[in-house]
Amino acid sequence: MSLPENLFTPFKQKIDSYALPDRFTFPFYYQPHDLCVLASTQLQQHLKTQTQWQHNFGLEGDTETAIGKMFGVLLVQNKHNEIGYLAAFSGKIADKNHLPNFVPPVFDMLAEDSFFIAGQSDIKQINQQIKTLENNPDIAILAADLSAEQDACAEQIKAHRTSMILGRKDRKQRRLVAETELSSDDFVQIKLQLGKESIKQKNQLRDLNIHWDDRIGSAQQNLHHLTDEIAVLKQQRKELSTCLQQKLFDQYKFLNKYGVEKNLCDLFKDTLQQVPPAGAGECAAPKLLHYAFKNEMKPLAMAEFWWGQSPKSAIRQHLNFYAACQGKCQPILSHMLEGIELDENPLLINPAVGKTIDIVYEDKVMLVINKPAEFLSVPGKNIEDSVYLRIKQSYPTATGPLIVHRLDMSTSGLMVIALSKQAHKNLQKQFINRTVKKRYVALLDGLLTAEEGLIELPLRVDLDDRPRQLVCYQYGKSAKTKWQVLERKNNQTKVYFLPITGRTHQLRVHSAHVKGLDTPIVGDDLYGKKAVRLHLHAEFLQLNHPVTREVMQFQTEAEF
């Protein structure tokens, strides 16, 4: 399908009353500019009404095969000083990476004459050869034969070693008896006989090993006649895939405002992983900026929103705006936005300025504090101010790590602080053994129908977009949360959370995920919608005093 060269889209309504952005969007944490919201609304209307292509986003009932997508808009000024926007989507839609009204990919790997298609075809042929060879029923038979031989070998060797141990004990006993009851000459003869018996058993073990080595070797050789060809093909596939991937990385070349072009390998060589992750360069943001620079348009602001059903692992809410991912996009966008004045990075601003920590309980060995929302528990990558630092300054004679457990920066509520190493060891052991009772109160952005329940969704970090967490049944750590409704009001639900485990972002993910409560916590800027604050508060703690062992209970009311 041929596409128009100019994909600049004008606004359908007058925008004279809108102020243009002073600086470009900081892509990794932002509130969308009003004109980006307007552009997104216009694009969303297009998605609802267009008939040129079909894709199941999961908005019309069929959720089994649904695939939601991230869309992006880039507010631009063209060569004629007109203000409009460009639109893009991440990855593919309707099995295509070219669609009308959307900017093209930076590199079209799906083009009919693409080396990538040819390379994929070669790999597909090898895959088919491997599959055919692996389906040979003789492989299973020979593998079973080999396993049977190995089991029989292990059983016989074990039995003979047991016999040798018993023989050794018997010979020792016979020697002791002979030493006390026989003459010197007879004792010498007995010793010679016992020695021969020992040598005989050792030789039998040697012969057994040789016998079974031959049998197992023969079985392995029979199996390898069929599997060696598969191993060669798999190595060939690996080498072809690596070569194809490297060639593909070289083709993804990204422009910036200075006309400087860098490919994926250049951009990721100094990162921790050094190699570009899968899908790098296919996100909406790099596509938009590349097209703008290539066509001499000035980028003014950008925003990305999710359209459709949430993925099974990550949390994406239909119509919500999201920041660019750190793992895939940060190295690319750092290059592409070079020389462009950006909004201030809010992640570098200390949110704890002007806030104080309330002491709920204090003695010589421990504290219980009420941590404010938007206050780090421990120093972060860019911000040192934290509960740890404040306590260290206020209690300079305290020893040990101080922090027994953590709350998310955005979560308010009760935290226990140890003022001595011994107290820290005892308190931390209580948390590890899960004898500490904790209760959180949260306000959810929607109405729950059930009254209570248990959520079990294993969690792991999203390696491409830290600090977000994913639901992952293969690699995730067990995470369990009990919940109970307190009240429903103004289309919101207040709940108690009683976490059984304590994973990062556990309550936030269990609230927002479609297999959890499918209702984000109010103010959750990662898994829901940003508000004045995250409405999550650790209101109750019960533990044993680290010295007196007295049962202690603490409670602070939430501010919402």
Angle at 231 between CA 229 and CA 236, to 5 degrees: 95
pLDDT confidence of residue 474? 93
pLDDT confidence of residue 359? 97
Distance CA 175, CA 195 (A): 11
CA distances from 179 to 183, 189, 464 (A): 8, 11, 76
Please, what's the b/e burial string for 68-105 (b: 16 or more CB within 10 A of its CB; e: otherwise)?
bbbbbbbbbbbeeeebbbbbbbbebbeeebbbeebbbb
Assign 534 to helix, strand or coil: coil
Tokens of 203: 């030789």
pLDDT confidence of residue 4? 46
pLDDT confidence of residue 5? 54
360 phi/psi in degrees, rounded to 5: -90, -35
pLDDT confidence of residue 346? 87
DSSP per residue over 452-478, as a string?
EEEEE--EEE-TTSTT-EEE-TTTPBP
Considering 408, 445, 462, 524, which one is annotated as catalytic?
Answer: 408
Q: Is the CB of residue 201 less than 8 Å from the CB of residue 169?
A: no
Q: Is the CB of residue 526 less than 8 Å from the CB of residue 461?
A: no
Q: Is the CB of residue 18 less than 8 Å from the CB of residue 34?
A: yes
Q: Is the peptide bond before 467 cis (omega within 30 degrees of 0)?
A: yes
**408 among known catalytic residues:** yes
| β-strands 412-418, 536-544 pairing | parallel
pLDDT confidence of residue 3? 41
pLDDT by 10s per residue, the chain, length 560: 334 458 999 999 999 999 999 999 999 999 999 999 999 999 999 999 999 999 999 988 777 888 999 999 999 999 999 999 999 999 999 889 999 999 999 999 888 788 988 999 999 999 999 999 999 999 999 999 999 999 999 999 999 999 999 999 999 999 999 988 989 889 999 999 999 999 999 999 999 999 999 999 999 999 999 999 999 999 999 999 999 999 999 999 999 999 999 999 999 998 888 889 888 999 999 999 999 999 999 999 999 999 999 998 999 999 999 999 888 999 999 999 999 999 999 889 999 999 999 999 999 999 999 999 999 999 998 899 999 999 999 999 999 899 999 999 999 999 999 999 999 999 999 999 999 999 999 999 999 999 999 999 999 999 888 889 999 999 999 999 999 999 999 999 999 999 999 999 999 999 999 999 999 999 999 999 999 999 999 999 999 999 999 999 999 999 99
Assign 482 to helix, strand or coil: strand
Long-range pairs for 242-251 at CB < 8 Å and ≥24 separation? Answer: 243/119, 244/115, 244/116, 244/119, 244/120, 244/123, 247/115, 247/116, 247/119, 248/107, 248/109, 248/116, 249/276, 251/107, 251/109
Domain residues of the chain, as ranges?
A: 9-107+253-347, 133-248, 350-555
DSSP per residue over 216-228, as a string?
HHHHHHHHHHHHH
Nearest to 275 by CA among 463, 89, 462: 463
* Surface-to-core class of residue 125, CB atoms within 10 Å of its CB (0-12 exposed, 13-18 middle, 19+ buried): exposed
Q: pTM for this one?
A: 0.81
Pick the CATH number of 350-555 from 3.20.20.150, 3.20.20.80, 3.30.390.30, 3.30.2350.10: 3.30.2350.10
> Which residues lie below 8 Å from residue 557, measured CB to CB, with a gap of 6+?
539
CA distances from 38 to 23, 50, 172, 457, 461 (A): 18, 18, 94, 36, 33
Assign 99 to helix, strand or coil: coil
Enumerate the H helices of 252-354 as residue ranges. 264-268, 284-294, 326-336
Nearest to 264 by CA among 298, 57, 205, 274: 274
Distance CA 443, CA 106 (A): 43
Distance CA 228, CA 234 (A): 10
Tokens of 485: 């409704």
Q: SS3 sequence, 355-380? A: CCCEEEEECCCEEEEEECCCCCCCCC
Enumerate the H helices of 252-356 as residue ranges. 264-268, 284-294, 326-336
